[in-house]
Structure 1
Amino acid sequence: MPRGDKSKYTEKQQRKAEHIEESYEEKGVPEDEAEARAWATVNKQSGGGERKGGSGRQKSQTEKRADRKDSAHRAAKAREGDSPNRGSARNNSGSSSLTELSKDELMEKARERNITGRSKMRRDELIKALS
């Protein structure tokens, strides 16, 4: 069972976690794993339980929406068998555009340019930093 007191979560967050957990269990995921995944999803989407007094970082509605959209896109690609980090065979000459490169190739370019924070960047962030 996931650690932590769930009393800080709103009723809506708790219902969402229950729904997600049931969905995972229907797919054959063990009960404790389903619960852990459900709470992880709720935490990512809402920034955790409701906090008073300004403790913790609050996500804006825009950030939450972007996280949900990003998560949905990655899940859809995974279902299609397309990994976001897997690229097709490419010409490795310097003439290819950044959007055609894999994350590993972008990481190598960022390493060559000594871009700080590159190890924690997503693919789109690497493209922006290299542009």
Structure 2
Amino acid sequence: MPRGSSPKRERQYEHIKESAEERGASAKRAKEIASRTVNKERARAGESATASKVSTRDPKSASQRGGERSHSGAQGPTKDQLYEEAKKRNIEGRSSMNKQQLRKALGR
């Protein structure tokens, strides 16, 4: 944590770090996750001297997003995420589609 951080941000950092460790992240990875999350929250709240455009313009905070973008790796979004997108787009027959079919219907 940067010097001069508020007690709230210190508590937030510790909570996120402990939570990540409980989920099986290494101590180093847990610290990185906590630091990035808290720094982004500080930037959004105007508590940091510098902030990226992404940090300040993202409509959802990292805590609100809750890992929405975390499934963009090798296998891409989960079936549930694809289904929710298909629901938003009102795609017919989505409830009986498998992951591959949902991807195709969404044009992915």
TM-score of the aligned structures, taking structure 2 as reference length: 0.52
Judging changes above 3 Å, is the alpha-carbon distance between structure 1 residues 70 and 26 closer, same or farther for their aligned structure 2 residues? Answer: closer
Say how many residue pairs are matched.
81
Post-superposition CA distance 1:77-131 (Å, at most 9, x none): 84x82467x96114xxxxxxxxx444xxxxxxxxxxxxxxxxxxxxxxxxxxxxx
Q: Distance in 2 between matches of 1:50 and 1:22?
A: 23
Judging changes above 3 Å, is the alpha-carbon distance between structure 1 residues 66 and 7 closer, same or farther for their aligned structure 2 residues? Answer: same
Shift of residue 73 of structure 1? Answer: 6.2
Which runs of no fewer than 5 residues in structure 1 stay unpaired? 91-99, 103-131
Give matches, 1:25-36, under 5 Å: 25-36=21-32
Letter paired with 2:103: S
User: Which of 46, 50, 56 is the matching residue for 2:50?
Assistant: 56
Which runs of no fewer than 5 residues in structure 2 stay unpaired? 72-76, 83-99
Post-superposition CA distance 1:48-92 (Å, at most 9, x none): 8934xxx42499xx95762336622616x84x82467x96114xx
Q: C-alpha root-mean-square deviation of aligned residues, in Å?
A: 3.8
Letter paired with 1:81: T
Structure 1 counterpart of 2:60:
66
Judging changes above 3 Å, is the alpha-carbon distance between structure 1 residues 101 and 32 closer, same or farther for their aligned structure 2 residues? Answer: same
Q: Distance in 2 between matches of 1:70 and 1:16?
A: 14
Q: Percent same amino acid among aligned pairs?
A: 25
Structure 1 segments of 4+ aligned residues over 3 angstroms from their partners? 48-51, 62-65
Letter paired with 2:50: G
